[in-house]
């Protein structure tokens, strides 16, 4: 009964390939996020979706394309992978309904370590 | 733009002792949330404690408490009776309530690595 799950947990691939990371939450939350943690452990928002609608897109290269088929899922597709894409990618979710004010907590998935060779 | 600063890259503490991790932030908002997250070697992000800016009372969760100084924009985490399992990277994070273009994104500090010595 994992709250936020991601697959795969590890992804090793060659430069130039296309790959996807999947995320699912069973908390009934209406907002989902993708964060990137770089080699120095710095965490930065990439995207945010609320009820399947893209809300935040933080100057991420066009090679990254999020897709939210429904409220419980937010997938991340990466085209033409580059060495600099190597990082840990975290999915998170929160409940922000009810007039736009939630308690603020975001629940994180276990992360996907992407290594581009 | 909001920024979060953790000025201590590393801290260490003896088991059973108390340690305080520092965090400062910059914002022009009056309503926001502050969090401390823990990231052990397993890399799972675990919420430790939350503080709403409108609350004057400092949040407490068992051995974890915060010292929230809104005017000084300071949000430190105190861990009492430190345990070996507290060893991890700790992140301070800031968030405005959902709504608008930021829609509740978390802005993180650089992190502080906490070592607990037996």
Per-residue pLDDT of chain B (118 residues; tens, 9 = 90+): 689 999 999 999 999 999 999 999 999 888 889 999 999 999 999 999 999 998 889 999 999 999 999 999 999 999 999 999 999 999 999 998 766 556 678 999 999 999 999 9
Per the CB < 8 Å rule, is B98 touching A102? Answer: yes
Q: By the 8 A CB rule, do A90 and A34 touch?
A: yes
Per the CB < 8 Å rule, is B106 touching A44? Answer: no
Q: By the 8 A CB rule, do B4 and B23 touch?
A: yes
Q: Which of A68, A94, A79 is nearest to A15 (CA)?
A: A79
Q: Taking 80 as the threshold, does the pLDDT of residue A100 lie above it?
A: no
Q: Show which residues on chain A lie within 8 Å of chain B, measured between beta carbons.
A: 31, 33, 35, 40-45, 48, 50, 55-56, 58, 88, 90, 92, 94, 96, 100-108, 110-111, 113
Between CA A13 and CA A48 the distance in angstroms is 26
The pLDDT of residue A59 is 77
The pLDDT of residue B101 is 58
Distance of CA A21 to the CA centre of its chain: 8
Q: By the 8 A CB rule, do A71 and A54 touch?
A: no
Q: Which residues pair with B19 in a beta bridge?
A: B79
Residues of A in contact with B92 (CB under 8 A): none
Burial of B20 (0-12, 13-18, 19+ CB in 10 A): middle
- The percent of residues above 90 in pLDDT, for chain A, comes to 73
B2 touches chain A (CB under 8 A): no
Q: Between A104 and B67, name the one with better pLDDT.
A: B67
């Amino acid at each position: 009964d994992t709250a936020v799950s991601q697959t795969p947990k590890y992804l090793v691939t060659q430069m130039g390939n296309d790959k996807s990371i999947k995320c699912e939450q069973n908390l009934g939350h209406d907002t989902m996020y993708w964060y990137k943690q770089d080699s120095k452990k710095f965490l930065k928002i990439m995207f945010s979706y609320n009820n399947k609608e893209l809300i935040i897109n933080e100057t991420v290269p066009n090679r990254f394309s999020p897709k939210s088929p429904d409220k419980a899922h937010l997938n991340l597709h990466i085209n033409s992978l580059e060495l600099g894409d190597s990082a840990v990618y975290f999915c998170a979710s929160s409940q922000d309904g009810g007039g736009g004010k939630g308690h603020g907590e975001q629940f994180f998935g276990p992360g996907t370590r992407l290594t581009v060779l | 733009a909001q920024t979060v600063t953790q000025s201590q890259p590393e801290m260490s503490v003896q088991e059973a002792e108390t340690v305080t991790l520092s965090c400062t932030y910059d914002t022009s908002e009056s309503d926001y949330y502050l969090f401390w997250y823990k990231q052990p070697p397993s890399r799972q992000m675990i919420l430790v404690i939350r503080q709403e800016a409108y609350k004057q009372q400092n949040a407490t969760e068992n051995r974890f408490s915060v010292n929230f100084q809104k005017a000084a924009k300071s949000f430190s985490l105190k861990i009492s009776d430190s345990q070996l399992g507290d060893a991890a990277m700790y992140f301070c994070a800031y968030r405005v309530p959902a709504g608008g273009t930021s829609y509740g994104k978390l802005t993180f500090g650089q992190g502080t690595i906490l070592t607990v010595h037996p």
